[in-house]
């Protein structure tokens, strides 16, 4: 797990952001960014 | 609500960072934690937020009823923003209790209007810091906990950000960890020693 993802998940935990929002705003963009980086 | 921090000790790799540290964080009071880098400011905030477990001591929430958790607006040492989304989205995604219009109005108090709807990755480091401050302040909370919130801000914008935070603190409490205490003399200065 990247440091950035870990930090964002910690932020989500502190603010008690619902799981659906964590997936939409944190996991999916991180996955896209990972895939984009891998394609280069 | 009172956050009672009692006899907290914490060590990393055998090096003691906090040793029997005590503080009571009370409503309507501001606390400025200061000290050299590595003196335990961030560790203490992380323990209060439940992100770190102390080796000894405990954090208790006291008040009129039993608080299950700390309802806090938080600024982390790093920005921790969702880069692809706008400042408005970053601030409104942390709570279901805030409306985008309210968030936009709050953001426009510190940022130019044309900056609040573009992805935060396009903002300068100072502007990103301001977004973090607004994110912490625009949700209903009992306490504001901020780790070096004004880092990278200078002059008028730093003063403006400090006024904004003080205004938003309301009847809750405010805890700021900062090496530089300029402009923060309104709070009780607590110096941590390594």
With an 8 Å Cβ cutoff, is B140 touching chain A? no
Q: What residues in B contact A35, CB-CB < 8 Å?
A: none
CB contact under 8 A, A7 and B76: yes
Distances (CA, A) of B51 to A9, B70, B97, B121: 11, 12, 24, 26
**The model's pTM:** 0.94
Residues of chain B with pLDDT under 70: none
Sign of the C-alpha dihedral, residues B40, B41, B47, B51?
Answer: negative
Consecutive sets of 10 residues in chain A, 40 residues long: mean pLDDT of each?
92 96 96 80
CB contact under 8 A, A7 and B78: yes
With an 8 Å Cβ cutoff, is A14 touching chain B? yes
CB B8 within 8 A of CB B15: no
Nearest to B93 among A7, A13, A21 (CB): A21
Which chain A residue shows the shortest CA-CA distance from B136?
A15
CB contact under 8 A, A21 and B49: no
- Model pLDDT, residue A40: 62
In B37-66, the residues whose Cβ lies within 8 Å of chain A are: 49, 51
Listed in sequence order, the residues at least 6 apart from A4 whose beta carbon sits closer than 8 Å to its beta carbon are A30
Q: ipTM for the complex?
A: 0.91
């Amino acid at each position: 797990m990247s440091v950035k993802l870990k930090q964002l998940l910690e932020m989500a935990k502190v603010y008690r952001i619902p799981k659906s929002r964590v997936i939409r705003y944190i996991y999916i963009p991180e996955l896209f960014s990972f895939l984009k980086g891998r394609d280069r | 609500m009172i956050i009672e921090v009692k006899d907290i000790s914490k060590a990393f790799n055998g090096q003691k960072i906090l040793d029997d540290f005590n503080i009571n964080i009370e409503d309507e009071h501001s606390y400025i934690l200061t000290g050299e880098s590595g003196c335990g400011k961030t560790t203490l905030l992380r323990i209060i937020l439940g992100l770190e477990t102390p080796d000894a001591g405990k954090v208790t929430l006291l008040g009129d009823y039993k608080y299950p958790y700390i309802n806090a607006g938080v600024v982390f040492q790093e920005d921790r923003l969702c880069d692809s989304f706008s400042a408005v989205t970053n601030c409104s995604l942390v709570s279901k209790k805030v409306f985008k219009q309210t968030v936009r109005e709050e953001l426009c108090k510190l940022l130019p209007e044309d900056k609040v709807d573009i992805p935060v990755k396009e903002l300068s480091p100072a502007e990103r810091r301001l977004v973090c401050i607004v994110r912490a302040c625009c949700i209903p909370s009992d306490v504001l906990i901020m780790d070096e919130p004004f880092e990278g801000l200078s002059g008028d914008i730093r003063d403006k950000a400090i006024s904004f935070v003080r205004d938003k603190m309301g009847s809750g409490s405010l805890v700021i960890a900062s090496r530089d205490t300029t402009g923060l003399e309104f709070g009780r200065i607590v110096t941590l020693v390594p």
